[in-house]
Copies of this chain bind each other. A is one copy, B any other.
Amino acid sequence: MARQGSLSANPAPSLRIGEVARRTGLPVKTIRYYCDEGLLQSKDRSAGGYRLFDEENLAELAIIRALRAMDVSIPELARILEVRRAGVCNCAVLKDSIAAKMESINLRIGELAAMKDELARLLSSWQDCGGSKLQR
């Protein structure tokens, strides 16, 4: 698939994992883990077996990072990236999973708010408790 586009198209993969880590801010181990999980596909290996990445991989890692920060799971990310890799617009897939994510965030916020209220109630109901023994 020699794509000889002029700009940042697809030069020979040349970035080693440490450089990718430096550029993305992700730990080397995490990048390797993403490779193992199939999220990231290093284009090639060096003669000595080193993973070699390209700019496209950096773009994928940017997506992974952003969506992971929003708690999109690894399997879901794998699905999204697979569709993306197929070259098809995956707006629908993304929109679905983002909408679902927003829904679950709303739920979670509601739960946390309820917890907070409960904790506040708990705290205020203890104002009278000194430091002495309790009969529990």
Q: Specify which of B98, B115, B122, B131 is in contact with A122 (CB 8 Å cutoff).
A: B98
| A interface with B by C-beta (< 8 Å) | 59, 69-71, 84, 87-92, 94-95, 98-99, 101-102, 105-106, 108-109, 112-113, 115-116, 118-120, 122-123, 126, 129-134, 136
Given contacts A59-B136, A87-B136, A105-B115, 13 further A-B contacts (CB under 8 A): A70-B118, A87-B133, A88-B133, A88-B134, A89-B132, A89-B133, A90-B134, A91-B126, A95-B123, A98-B123, A101-B119, A102-B116, A105-B116
- Complex-state Cα separation, A88 to B86, whole angstroms: 64
Beta-carbon contact of A115 and B84 below 8 Å? no
Beta-carbon contact of B109 and A113 below 8 Å? yes
Question: Smallest Cβ distance from A97 to chain B, in angstroms?
Answer: 10
**Please, which residue of chain B has its CB at the minimum distance from the CB of A71?**
B115
**Please, which residue of chain B has its CB at the minimum distance from the CB of A122?**
B98
User: A69-B115, A109-B109, A109-B113 given as contacts; is B91 within 8 A of A131 (CB)?
Assistant: yes
User: A95-B126, A113-B109 given as contacts; is B84 within 8 A of A102 (CB)?
Assistant: no
**Please, which residue of chain B has its CB at the minimum distance from the CB of A134?**
B89
